Amino acid sequence: MASLQDILYQVNIDSVVGNTTIEINDLQIDSRKVKPGSCFIAVKGTVTDGHDYIEKAIANGASVIVCEKIPEKIDTKVRYVKVENSASASAILSHNFYGRVTEKISLVGVTGTNGKTTVATLLFKLFTSLGYKCGLISTFQNYIGSEILPSTHTTPDPITLNALIAKMYNEGCTKIIMEVSSHAIHQHRVDGLKFAGGIFTNITHDHLDYHKTFDEYIRVKKSFFDSLPPSSFAISNADDKRGGVMLQNTKAKKYFYSLKTMADFTAKIIEDSLLGLQLLIDDIEVNFRLIGTFNAYNLLAVYGAAICMGENKAKVLQILSNTAGAEGRFDYLVSPNEKVVGIIDYAHTPDALLNVLATIKNLRQGDRKIITVVGCGGNRDKTKRPEMAEVACEYSDKIIFTSDNPRNEDPEEIIKEMEKGVPVTARKKVISITDRKEAIKTGVSFSQKEDIILIAGKGHEKYQEIKGVKSHFDDKEILIEMFHLLEK
Structure confidence by residue, pLDDT tens digits, 217-236:
889 999 999 999 999 999 99
CB atoms within 10 A of CB 36: 9
- Residues 177 and 309: beta-carbon distance below 8 Å: no
How far is 100 from 97, CA to CA, in rounded Å? Answer: 7
14, pLDDT greater than 50: yes
Q: Which is it for the CA torsion 119, 125, 127, 132, positive or negative?
A: positive
User: What's the mean pLDDT in 355-367?
Assistant: 91
Cα-Cα end-to-end distance for the chain: 63
- The β-bridge partners of 142 are 149
pTM metric for this prediction: 0.83
Give the pLDDT confidence score for residue 224 in this predicted structure. 96
Helix axes of 384-395 and 350-363: crossing angle, nearest 10 degrees? 10
Tens of pLDDT, residue by residue over 426-456, are: 999 999 999 999 999 999 999 999 999 999 9
472, pLDDT greater than 90: yes
SS (H, E, C) the chain: CEEHHHHCCCCCEEEEECCCCCEECEEECCHHHCCCCEEEECCECCCCEHHHHHHHHHHCCCCEEEECCCCCCCCCCCEEEEECCHHHHHHHHHHHHCCCHHHCCEEEEEECCCCHHHHHHHHHHHHHHCCCCEEEECCCEEEECCEEEECCCCCCCHHHHHHHHHHHHHCCCCEEEEECCHHHHHCCCCCCCCCCEEEECCCCCCCHHHHCCHHHHHHHHHHHHHCCCCCCEEEEECCCCCHHHHCCCCCCEEEEEECCCCCCEEEEEEEEECCEEEEEECCEEEEECCCCHHHHHHHHHHHHHHHHCCCCHHHHHHHHHCCCCCCCCCEEEECCCCCCEEEEECCCCHHHHHHHHHHHHHHCCCCCCEEEEECCCCCCCCCHHHHHHHHHHHHCCEEEECCCCCECCCHHHHHHHHHCCCCHHHHHHEEECCCHHHHHHHHHHHCCCCCEEEEECCCCCCEEEECCEEEECCHHHHHHHHHHHHHC
User: What's the mean pLDDT in 21-40?
Assistant: 96
Tens of pLDDT, residue by residue over 253-267, are: 999 999 999 999 999
CB atoms within 10 A of CB 284: 12
CA dist 246 → 147, 211, 289, 303, 454 (Å):
34, 17, 30, 20, 32
Give the pLDDT confidence score for residue 283 in this predicted structure. 87
Task: Work out the pLDDT band at 487, boundaries 50, 70, 90.
Answer: low
Share of the chain above pLDDT 70, in %: 97
42, pLDDT greater than 90: yes
Helix axes of 411-419 and 384-395: crossing angle, nearest 10 degrees? 60
Give the pLDDT confidence score for residue 163 in this predicted structure. 96
- Give the closest residue to 190 by CA, choosing from 216, 153, 217: 153
Average pLDDT, the chain: 93
87, pLDDT greater than 80: yes
How far is 437 from 292, CA to CA, in rounded Å? Answer: 27
- The β-bridge partners of 235 are 199, 255
Range with the poorest average pLDDT among 128-142, 307-321, 425-439 = 128-142
Question: What is the set of domains in the chain, with CATH numbers?
Answer: 2-97 (3.40.1390.10), 101-321 (3.40.1190.10), 331-487 (3.90.190.20)
How far is 362 from 271, CA to CA, in rounded Å? Answer: 11
Question: What backbone phi and psi angles, to 5 degrees, belong to 373?
Answer: -110, 120
23, pLDDT greater than 80: yes
The radius of gyration of the chain from alpha carbons, rounded to an integer in Å, stands at: 24
Range with the poorest average pLDDT among 304-313, 315-324, 331-340 = 331-340
Give the pLDDT confidence score for residue 126 in this predicted structure. 98
Cα angle, residue 175 at apex, residues 171 and 180 outer, rounded to 5°: 110
336, pLDDT greater than 60: yes
Task: Work out the pLDDT band at 211, boundaries 50, 70, 90.
Answer: very low
User: What's the mean pLDDT in 49-58?
Assistant: 96
User: What's the mean pLDDT in 125-151?
Assistant: 92
Q: Which is it for the CA torsion 28, 33, 34, 36, positive or negative?
A: negative
Tens of pLDDT, residue by residue over 167-209, are: 999 999 999 999 999 889 999 999 999 999 999 999 885 545 5
User: What's the mean pLDDT in 113-142?
Assistant: 93
How far is 118 from 298, CA to CA, in rounded Å? Answer: 7
How far is 359 from 306, CA to CA, in rounded Å? Answer: 26
User: What's the mean pLDDT in 232-260?
Assistant: 96
User: What's the mean pLDDT in 226-250?
Assistant: 96
